[in-house]
Amino acid sequence: MAKRIFISCVALVLFVSSFTSCAKTVTKRTQTKEYFNYFDTFCSLRIDNVNEEDFSVAADELEQLLCDYDALLDIYDSHGEITSLYDVNKNAGNGAIKVDKRLFDAISFGIEAHELTDGYCNIALGSVISLWHAEREAARRDPKSAKLPDSKLIAEALTHTDISKVVLDQEARTVEITDPSLSLDLGAIAKGYVGERACELLEFLGHESFLLNLGGNVLAKGKSYKNAYWSAEIEDPFGDKTKSDIPTVSLNGETLVTSGSYQRFYTVDGKNYSHIISHKDGMPPEYFVSVSVIAPYMSSGLADALSTALFCMPLEDGRALIGSLDGIEAFWILPDGSTVKSEGFGGAE
């Protein structure tokens, strides 16, 4: 997903020293760790007022979690003893396959997200997405030969996106794809879902205040060392070409997720085509340039799914969907630079 949000928190390097027993520990106002090897994006962790030992443990444990999910949700490669989403897709039409509980739960959530969004967030859209991915990669290698996927291939792939063909057995922890041409792609929910698991980990380790950025999916709990809630700025996709009122958002135990067409796209005959694909016609939607969703931080997977779904549906349908959900707000940026926000969407405090 194309989701990038600039964090408007200032990192300081002042520190204070404390002593426990005979060992010296250092507590810093700000400790940060950056990760570049997971989900093809940039991730970071920030914790304030924490000693170096505790932060190091949290940073290492988080990296292991990111590494594990990066392998489990991989649709392009097998990972040895770990059964990845690639292996599940490869087994389509050949019966049930047992998977790690973490992958099983992620797929289960993806099916729930499909139901909630009336199919606008469809993890069974992999056969269509793969057509666009292939052409986008070909265009990256040779921009002059960039072209759209064949419309007949898109139409055929769309007939293999029925989520009911994905059969889960919770007791046996197996996944069966009964349509041999259907493939799963959890890109629309992956970072949000993994963000929730990351928050669970940090809380288990005793951290009650932190800021996570998983490729633009921002999750915040508690306050910074300034005793202020964390804040994040929704990126202006037009740069300085627009006068749209795009807010900085104060996050109080919340997550901010943005889906947009202005990052991962490729150009054919002077027109940009987004990586976000509609389940209706197999084409990138053109209703909006970006859609941002704010939700409770432990609903980050839902926020991820909703940002994709809202990007793919007409504005009034999206506003109705958001209006039906408690504690969730949205902010739309239209192609002409104008903006729309749901009734409860607020700016920085």
pLDDT band of residue 240 (cuts 50, 70, 90) is low
The predicted model scores a pTM of 0.90
Q: How many domains does the chain have?
A: 1
CA 87, 88, 93, 98 dihedral sign is positive
- Of 269, 218, 165, the C-alpha closest to 46 is 218
- The CB density around residue 59, as the number of other CB atoms within 10 Å, is 17
For residue 349, is pLDDT > 70? Answer: no
Task: Identify the domain containing residue 131 by its residue range.
Answer: 1-349
Question: In angstroms, how far apart are the furthest CA atoms of the chain?
Answer: 72
Alpha carbons 76 and 120: distance in angstroms, whole number = 23
* pLDDT tens-digit readout, 31-53: 999 999 999 999 999 999 999 99
Find the CATH number of the domain harbouring 249.
3.10.520.10
Predicted local distance difference test score (pLDDT) of residue 10: 32
CB proximity list for 21: less than 8 A, separation 6 or greater? none
The angle at the Cα of 260, spanning 140 to 201, to the nearest 5 degrees, equals 100
Predicted local distance difference test score (pLDDT) of residue 245: 79
Alpha carbons 168 and 7: distance in angstroms, whole number = 38
Alpha carbons 203 and 188: distance in angstroms, whole number = 25
Predicted local distance difference test score (pLDDT) of residue 7: 40
As a whole number, the mean pLDDT across the chain is: 90
For residue 101, is pLDDT > 70? Answer: yes
Terminal-to-terminal C-alpha distance of the chain: 28
Please compute the mean of the pLDDT values over residues 10-35 and round it to a whole number: 56
Please compute the mean of the pLDDT values over residues 173-178 and round it to a whole number: 98
